[in-house]
Chains A and B, each alone.
Chain A
Amino acid sequence: MNTTTVALTDVGKSYGRADALSDVTLALRPGITGLLGPNGAGKTTMLRILATALAADRGTVEVLGSDPGTATGRTAVRRRLGYVPQETGFPRGFTAFSFLDYLAILKEWSDAETRHAEVRRVVELVDLTDVAPKRVSALSGGQRRRLVLAQAMIGQPDLLVLDEPTTGLDPAQRGRLRDVLGRAGESATVLISTHQTEDVAALCERVVVLDGGRVLFDGAVTDLVRQATGRVWMADDRHPAAQHAWRTGTGRVRNVGDPPPDAELIEPDLEDAYLLLVGDAAHDAGLEAVS
């Protein structure tokens, strides 16, 4: 499937005078796309626009063939959308199950029997079966995070917009989540923002890097990693030319930046590549500001 399901063209969004997003052009297809970027890069702003929670100020947005700028377009998108916001509160008085059941009604699952079956399915999917009868207020942070994920999976939506879904999850839960998202990505368009480069490396074929409201990189994960080839090396100490350096478990120091001629080069990973990309962009911006 190579059909474009989500298209942003020159999209901008400002809060007051500050541009949270500027001239973002992006086309997504079914499959999992990772969204990386430092804090304040505009990831949440972009995801909220795709999830119809926020309207773009400039540019055109097309989601699943509909225009979220119109009321009918928004409803059409919402019928096929699963959304995990970066943060959300919970209404009082619900159990985990009844909360999902209530949201399923708001997703137009009016028949009680099929709805309950669907809620049980997503509860099982995120491994919350044991705590389903518990009050939401009695759940742990990670359990609540998975509850929000479960509601996004109701009805197997065609578009999943996930804003840092893995925060607060332990490694086993993250592994399970990858499994669930991997399956969803076989047919749906999944856009997932995260600070965890390992999640992107493990899950995504494609990655978009945002910084300062602009797209710094959009392409295959392997292409981004390849950009860092020859720029990561091991040494006994931190090298002055390194942009980033840290002592690893072996006691040696991993240096990321422009290596000296005799450097002991190693294979880069996605995190190295991401750090270099964002670091180089900041460097270039600094040069521009000086000149």
Chain B
Amino acid sequence: MSAGLIHAESPAPAAVADGRATLLALARADARRYVRHPLFVLPCAVVLVMVVASVVQRDGGGTDPMFGTMMIAFFFGVFGFLVAHRLTNSMLRTRELAGVLPVGRQVRTLSLCLACLVSAAAGTATVGFMLVTAAFWPPDGEPSSLPVAWFGDYPASTVLPALIAMGPVAALGGPLLGVVVARWMPFRGSGLLGVVVLVVATAIPASDSRGSDIRLASAWPVLMDEHVDPDTEQIISTTFVPGITPGWALGWVLCLCGLAVVAALLRDPQHRRPLLFAGAGLTLAAAACYALALA
């Protein structure tokens, strides 16, 4: 111990608080916590191994888009739900302390929502990897009357929104829902309960025996169908679900993400009016995107 340090003044008085700077500093810290969370680190490793393996196994073919996006949604979306839920609830045990700090719970909620962008970034990187490998090593595409596996006949304006909606946005939406559930159901078991509900609610409408309107009304709308060669049981092509415009479907899931943020923030009484307005606007936009996607 050095006496000098004890005598030392604080390096700076808590300067006049700048709300935006505080939020950014907090979001950075929360993002670091997200990145280091075992339920994020582990899925990252698994996804890395799987995408590389899938490229290698397909004899120079790119990652299968259906498989790739499902992997993102599961490992970053579903696991992300748990990560965000745990990070949000982590202060429960410390609430006697955390409750009397100048930065209130609503700002902390917003910061956690921003930290969920870590998951979205991981999803984006995976989709990027899929696009790059598909461009460099196009799948060999068995002769078929259907478009080849990597959407050979579809324009980028269709392929990209579909991949983004099913990949990065799913990776963002899962953790955002985790924040919502943790804020509104602040007890430990709510995380696992939420995951079960999330997976079931996603799987039911996803079946390809259903109409496109039901398939779109899911937390993870499946916008593509795979076609398997009955003899070799190999995937020979991927097509888009007829009757859904991927661009508008992307808008729909983005609006759902926005609504999740609003729902999480509404747990606290501050800024209630603007939040309700934002919620109403997002609901309208979501409905419009849904309708346009099916038009």
Please list the residues of chain A having a beta carbon within 8 angstroms of any beta carbon in chain B: 51-53, 71, 75, 78-79, 81, 83, 85, 87-93, 101-103, 105-112, 114-115, 117-118, 121, 124-125, 127, 148, 151, 155-156, 176, 179-180, 183
Measured between beta carbons, the chain A residues less than 8 angstroms from B36 are 93
Whether B91 lies near A91 (C-beta < 8 A) is yes
CB contacts under 8 Å to A, within B1-52, are 1-2, 5-6, 8-15, 17-18, 21-22, 24-26, 29, 33, 36-37
The residue from B15, B26, B29, B97 contacting A83, defined by CB atoms under 8 A apart: B97
Measured between beta carbons, the chain B residues less than 8 angstroms from A112 are 25
Whether A110 lies near B11 (C-beta < 8 A) is no
CA of A237 to CA of B59 in the docked complex: distance in angstroms? Answer: 96
Other than the known A93-B90, A105-B26, what 4 A-B pairs have Cβ atoms closer than 8 Å? Answer: A89-B94, A90-B94, A111-B21, A127-B1
Measured between beta carbons, the chain A residues less than 8 angstroms from B2 are 124
Prevailing SS type, chain B contact patch: loop
Whether B25 lies near A151 (C-beta < 8 A) is no
Whether B93 lies near A106 (C-beta < 8 A) is no
Whether A79 lies near B37 (C-beta < 8 A) is no
Taking each of A78, A85, A102, A110, which has the highest tally of chain B beta carbons within 10 Å of its own beta carbon?
Answer: A110
A sample of 26 cross-chain residue pairs with beta-carbon separation below 8 angstroms, ordered by A number, consists of: A71-B270, A78-B102, A79-B14, A79-B17, A90-B94, A92-B90, A93-B90, A105-B26, A106-B98, A106-B101, A106-B102, A108-B14, A108-B17, A108-B22, A110-B21, A110-B22, A110-B24, A110-B25, A111-B12, A114-B12, A115-B25, A117-B11, A118-B10, A148-B97, A155-B14, A179-B6
CA of A88 to CA of B8 in the docked complex: distance in angstroms? Answer: 28
Whether A108 lies near B103 (C-beta < 8 A) is yes
Q: How far is the CB of B153 from chain A (nearest CB, A)?
A: 48
Chain A minimum-CB-distance residue to B3: A179
Whether A107 lies near B93 (C-beta < 8 A) is no
Q: How far is the CB of A75 from chain B (nearest CB, A)?
A: 6
CA of A103 to CA of B91 in the docked complex: distance in angstroms? Answer: 11
Measured between beta carbons, the chain A residues less than 8 angstroms from B11 are 114, 117-118, 121
Measured between beta carbons, the chain A residues less than 8 angstroms from B13 are 155-156
Whether B102 lies near A156 (C-beta < 8 A) is no
